[in-house]
Structure 1
Amino acid sequence: MGAEAVTHHPAVLLVPFPAQGHVTPMLQLARALAAHGVAATVAVPDFIHRRISAAGATAGVALASIPSGIEEEDGPDAAAPAFAAIAHAMEHHMPAHLERMLAAPRPQPSRRVACVVVDVLASWAVPVAARCGVPAAGFWPAMLASYRVVAAIPELIERGLISESGTPIPSSESPDGDAVIRGLKILPAQVELRAGELPWLVGDAATQRSRFAFWLQTLRRAGGFRWVLVNSFPGEAGADDVVISRLARHGPPQVLPVGPALLPGGLNDGGAAAAERTKQPPPPPCGGNKDDAKNPIMWPADSTCIAWLDAQRAGSVVYVSFGSWVGSIGPDKVRELALGLEATGRPFLWALRRDPSWRAGLPEGFAERAAAAGRGKVVDWAPQEEVLRHAAVGCYLTHCGWNSTLEAVRHGVRLLCYPVSGDQFINCAYITGPWGIGLRLAAGMTRGDVRDGIGRVMDEDEGGEGRRLLEKVGALRARVVAAEARRAADRSVGSFVDEIRRESHPLLMQIYSVL
């Protein structure tokens, strides 16, 4: 009887939102669950399945394909489907296929799916799990603070701080609507977030209404979660306990920060370069999410990046990337960014998708001119983990996506921030505020802003701004990847697995009830 209890391995199906920044941490979570004896399968839409299967980098994770009805363009440079197309597929095409997947007979009855772990933004899967009688857990692939802001939407509406369409409501005390942030103490006082930077305020008025309706539906469905696993780490500006306790007062779900348990590789991965940058020794080795394969990149990365970096001086390169999802920053800003990079006189590596909307505004002959001078390289897509790990990189000009932020922290790289949409503004507020590991570019992004911002971040003078940023990122890195943080996150994963194992196994339920 004891052996049966010990060897019970529940099956868990994980459903990510179909974007690179969501699929990657979900795969990492699947590996962390597998390390605790869970039979984990990640179910993705067919167009994502084709991309990551082709990448051949999903060792240790089982993949399942869900028909989406989306006809994707062929070729490695094909753009990702638009948000509207994805939302329609998730609501109207994919649920029936997922239901058949959950209801399908299993070779072993004990391998019935014990839990569905659903990306909060893929909430379409929650009612499917309910119909099939399977418990649902949420996964928030971003930081805990941004989850708190989104979870506060009903309270914000009730108190008249935002409208039914999500826009801030000005008042005599707060003409610009900033009471939305200050009034409820959603975030620590030292985090500066403007009302217009709330995560759902994306695009024009019609787009904002549509996105806010999406969030309202998501929150309604999130009420069905028993647990929410958050891709965050202990001590987000010292506010985690406060935030978790506020969420706990509203009852389920139980919030479990698991971020450090999802870090790929061992603790010393990238430690040498990070230690050289931050002048701090690498932390000692520790067990963790040790996958044998890299996380898949949905677009082919230019492998010549690393050889180019090998030829640069340590700490001299500016790496520029705005991710793969949010879209272009616009032709005027692309032009100013390019001219600002030239004006610094520093070597740069710019990951800029070969798409007319992304490259519009790039000065004619810019990439060729930079390459000929040996001072710059423009690529379609970079192997970002390898780039940030490289000792030549001294600064990362970023959109502040959460995965990018964690990767920069993990490798001890200072940040120059230009958030574009969604939770990026919250991430930026922490980067430039409590953490002090980066600076923010002005919204206008002139070439002078770019030149001066890079100069400030990469200032190596003793006691200068750049040196202070390095010290701060070194200290934060030590907290995020420390053995203690990993063990705490691993305990959270383990307690979650214990609960689903107990509830999915009648014998274990009897044993626990006796204990």
Structure 2
Amino acid sequence: MSIPHVLAIPFPAQGHVIPLMEVSKRLVERGIQVTFVNTDFIHKRVVDVLMDEDLLGDKIRLVSIPDGLEPGEDRNDLGLLAEAMFRVMPGKLAELIRETEEKGEKITCILADGSTGWALEVAQKMNIPKAAFWPASVALFASGLSIPKMISDGIINDEGVVIKHQKFQLATGIPDMSPANLTWACIGDAATQKIIFKVMVTMSKSAELADWFIGNTSCDLEPAALAFARRILPIGPLLANHRLDSSAGYFWPEDSNCLKWLDQQPHKSVVYVAFGSFTVFDQIQFQELALGLELCNRPFLWVVRPDITEEKDDAYPKGFEERISGRGKLVGWAPQQKVLAHPAIACFVSHCGWNSTMEGASNGIPFLCWPYFADQFLNESYICDLWRVGLRFDRHESGIIRREEIKRKVDQLLDDHNFGKRASDIKEKLANGIEEGGESDKNFSNFVQWLKALRA
């Protein structure tokens, strides 16, 4: 009997590729073959960075299809990208499936990111079993499900434009939502917002096509949202470091030297600063952040992506690198899961992307929240208001987070041990969920059993 063969399709962004790659690795461990379908652009980035070719074994095959954009077009423009993908990728995916099956390799199931509903539609047309994977918070998915109600309540119009500005709550236990911070309302310009809104609407509909729906979350983190969006079964947190393994799917080469540097630092002393793959700072805010970290007078590890600021030369304040030498460590990209698991880390200054939120929570690390766009404001609400394991920064009237505010919040967070205690409690609950017999573990095992039954 042939082994089941899953075709996995992420949305082409760092925060989507990594968790679906982790699902793929876990499927391989359970005896399932995976073909992982990136866009050509993302495929090149992932392969260029994948130093350890054995990391994926011989059971995950990396392939790619075009995303519909020309080489020079801006793939950080999510509206442009989403439109091109929808136009080009369904046909290319169907072609890839036909070519694979002509070689005698039957596709048992298509496992598609919830943001790529078109892939589930391709599976439906080709009569292939289909599963959806949700890499973000279930509260975000719940907000997509609630779009018709938001329209009828007059919060937004039928194009997603905000009409009423007061906060609202989808259900008790789901964070309050500010209409201005709805995912589509805080991405790019009006045209982009309209496209992302349409993606959210179709996403909720196409998810109904899925035979199975799994998500990178936990019943301990999101009980109310999971009760609201009952179809999603939690299998998270999906963290490689629980298996003493390395992640795959990063877009930048990791600088592992920072782990040696952390080994030299006292227990729970280091402020870890990382803003994911999308956040961009203007020069004033970037320098204020640098000076704030210097002012804290604590050891810090700061991930400064090559494209985090538009200023390419001398982005740092004059003399900054010399002054913080020895106390501050600057890297282009860090092995984040290993960093957050390190005993020297005291807190995490984060953009609050869902992967980072899950990684920090799983390691019992308190947060300082600096959201940039999309669902990050919603995740900040979980961290600060519901779980109470972090603090927000207050912006100056100029819109800048000032250096004094950075120092004030770092001190406040680290001087109040209740934040650390609550973070440790969450860490323990999450660990229980993914251990054998825990709810996330059981859901994943049931998913694997379903896949294996398909080949029978």
Compute the TM-score of the two structures, normalised by the length of structure 1. Answer: 0.79
Instruction: For 1:267-416, list aligned pairs within 5 A.
Output: 290=243, 292-325=245-278, 327-355=279-307, 357-359=309-311, 362-372=315-325, 374-416=326-368
Task: Report the Cα distance in structure 2 between the residues aligned to 1:66 and 1:441, rounded to whole angstroms.
Answer: 41
Asked whether the equivalents of residues 370 and 376 of structure 1 are also in contact (C-alpha less than 8 Å), the reply is no
Match of 1:489 in 2: 440
Task: Report the Cα distance in structure 2 between the residues aligned to 1:136 and 1:417, rounded to whole angstroms.
Answer: 36
Asked whether the equivalents of residues 299 and 381 of structure 1 are also in contact (C-alpha less than 8 Å), the reply is yes
Asked whether the equivalents of residues 59 and 293 of structure 1 are also in contact (C-alpha less than 8 Å), the reply is no
> In structure 2, do the counterparts of structure 1 residues 303 and 367 end up closer, same or farther at CA, with 3 Å as the change threshold?
farther
The answer on 1:64 being equivalent to 2:59 is no
Q: Shift of residue 67 of structure 1?
A: 3.0
Larger Rg: 1
Instruction: For 1:4-403, list aligned pairs within 5 A.
Output: 9-54=3-48, 55-57=50-52, 58-60=55-57, 61-70=60-69, 72=71, 81-104=76-99, 106=101, 111-170=105-164, 176-178=165-167, 181-182=168-169, 184-185=170-171, 188=173, 191-202=175-186, 203-236=188-221, 238-239=223-224, 243-248=225-230, 254-260=231-237, 262-266=238-242, 290=243, 292-325=245-278, 327-355=279-307, 357-359=309-311, 362-372=315-325, 374-403=326-355
Task: Report the Cα distance in structure 2 between the residues aligned to 1:367 and 1:358, rounded to whole angstroms.
Answer: 18
Aligned to 1:134, the other structure's residue is in SS state: coil
Asked whether the equivalents of residues 59 and 291 of structure 1 are also in contact (C-alpha less than 8 Å), the reply is no
Asked whether the equivalents of residues 8 and 24 of structure 2 are also in contact (C-alpha less than 8 Å), the reply is yes
Task: Report the Cα distance in structure 2 between the residues aligned to 1:315 and 1:139, rounded to whole angstroms.
Answer: 35
Task: Report the Cα distance in structure 2 between the residues aligned to 1:319 and 1:358, rounded to whole angstroms.
Answer: 22
Asked whether the equivalents of residues 320 and 350 of structure 1 are also in contact (C-alpha less than 8 Å), the reply is yes
Task: Report the Cα distance in structure 1 between the residues aligned to 2:391 and 2:213, rounded to whole angstroms.
Answer: 31
- Where does structure 2 lack aligned partners over 5 or more consecutive residues? none
Task: Report the Cα distance in structure 2 between the residues aligned to 1:371 and 1:304, rounded to whole angstroms.
Answer: 17
1:88-121 CA-to-partner distances (Å, cap 9, x unmatched) read 4422332222112212364886x52121111011
Q: Shift of residue 39 of structure 1?
A: 1.8
> In structure 2, do the counterparts of structure 1 residues 454 and 245 end up closer, same or farther at CA, with 3 Å as the change threshold?
closer
The answer on 1:469 being equivalent to 2:425 is no
Aligned to 1:207, the other structure's residue is in SS state: helix
> In structure 2, do the counterparts of structure 1 residues 412 and 358 end up closer, same or farther at CA, with 3 Å as the change threshold?
farther
- Where does structure 1 lack aligned partners over 5 or more consecutive residues? 1-6, 171-175, 249-253, 267-289, 460-464, 509-515
Q: May I ask how many residue pairs the two structures share in their alignment?
A: 444
Task: Report the Cα distance in structure 1 between the residues aligned to 2:219 and 2:45, rounded to whole angstroms.
Answer: 33
Asked whether the equivalents of residues 140 and 228 of structure 1 are also in contact (C-alpha less than 8 Å), the reply is yes
Between 472-481 and 193-202, the greater mean CA deviation after superposition = 193-202
Q: Shift of residue 486 of structure 1?
A: 5.1
Compute the TM-score of the two structures, normalised by the length of structure 2. Answer: 0.88
Q: CA RMSD in A?
A: 2.7
Q: Shift of residue 359 of structure 1?
A: 4.9
Q: Shift of residue 366 of structure 1?
A: 4.9
Asked whether the equivalents of residues 400 and 427 of structure 1 are also in contact (C-alpha less than 8 Å), the reply is yes
Q: Shift of residue 501 of structure 1?
A: 3.7
Q: Shift of residue 365 of structure 1?
A: 2.8
> In structure 2, do the counterparts of structure 1 residues 358 and 312 end up closer, same or farther at CA, with 3 Å as the change threshold?
farther
Task: Report the Cα distance in structure 1 between the residues aligned to 2:323 and 2:216, rounded to whole angstroms.
Answer: 38
Between the aligned residues of both structures, percent identity stands at: 33
Task: Report the Cα distance in structure 2 between the residues aligned to 1:197 and 1:68, rounded to whole angstroms.
Answer: 28
Q: 2:373 aligns with which of 412, 421, 428?
A: 421
